Amino acid sequence: MSDFDRGFARPGMAAAPDMSIDAGLRSFMLGVYNKVALGLVLSAALAWVTGMYEPTRALLFRADGAGHVGYTVLGMIIAFAPIGILLFQGFARRQTARSASFTYWAIVSLIGASLGMVFIVYSGVGVFQTFLVTAGAFGGLSLVGYTTKRDLTGMGSFLIMGVWGLILASLASLFFHSPALVFAINLLGVGIFAGLIAYDTQRLKMTYYQMGGDQASLSVATSYGALSLYLDFINLFRFLLYFMGGSRR
């Protein structure tokens, strides 16, 4: 589900005053990062429960005689429910801080539950090491997006097109079982979502200045900004698992 994360509005770039000394911007970004961190902790806990605790694992995941792991009907509902939530919220006429926060925590919880599969497919050590690498990369790339003076809008538009290309390629891989195609998808996925972390961080800075101090709008932007970065993190983590996860199978 988490590949489908580009559905909400992305304001264009705007000139901003000295960002490096703006206490309001720092407070806004800190709120976003705190929400992302808490979301990742919740997701990790839910993934461990659904992947390692047998009663919940049996409800969400199944394995055939050949060792292939997939979702049960309930697991598929949970995995794809975040798309429905995003579509529903996209049609909402007005977003409030409460509705935006509900959207964030609902999607984080659903994705966390569906991530239990990684503990079935990959080794626990591989999952932990990949998470640490993803966290380090996320911090560095977000810092680049926060501090760079270069306008990343053009790059962001290109990367978003790349996300749709990944989705189409992933669908194609279901019919054409090509190891080379799967390798290319995962390699491109790492590059695309690494770039999106920097782009989305810069976009959030521009969003802050465009809100002009409107606290209600900033509260909504905090939740949706956190959701954007959270999904970037999760996607980067998933693609890196292909290279670092140490498959159990």
Mean pLDDT of the chain: 87
Tokens standing for residue 249: 């199978």
- Specify if 249 maps to a domain: no
Is pLDDT of 6 > 80? no
- Specify if 34 maps to a domain: yes
Q: Which residue, 116, 141, 132, 136, is CA-closest to 194?
A: 141
- Specify if 4 maps to a domain: no
- Specify if 1 maps to a domain: no
Q: Between vectors from CA 112 to CA 106 and to CA 117, what angle results, nearest 5°?
A: 145
- Specify if 125 maps to a domain: yes
- Specify if 162 maps to a domain: yes
Of 125 and 12, more confident? 125
Q: Give the pLDDT band of residue 102 (cuts 50, 70, 90).
A: very high
Host domain of residue 207: 19-244
- Specify if 216 maps to a domain: yes
Question: What total of structural domains would you count in the chain?
Answer: 1
- Specify if 8 maps to a domain: no
Report CA 173 to chain centroid distance, whole Å: 22
Which 3 state secondary structure label does DSSP give 71?
strand
pLDDT in tens, 166-215: 989 988 887 887 889 999 999 999 999 999 999 999 999 999 988 887 88
Rounded to two decimals, what is the model's pTM? 0.88
pLDDT in tens, 212-238: 878 888 999 999 999 999 999 999 999
- Percent pLDDT > 70 in the chain is 88
Strands 61-63 and 69-71: antiparallel
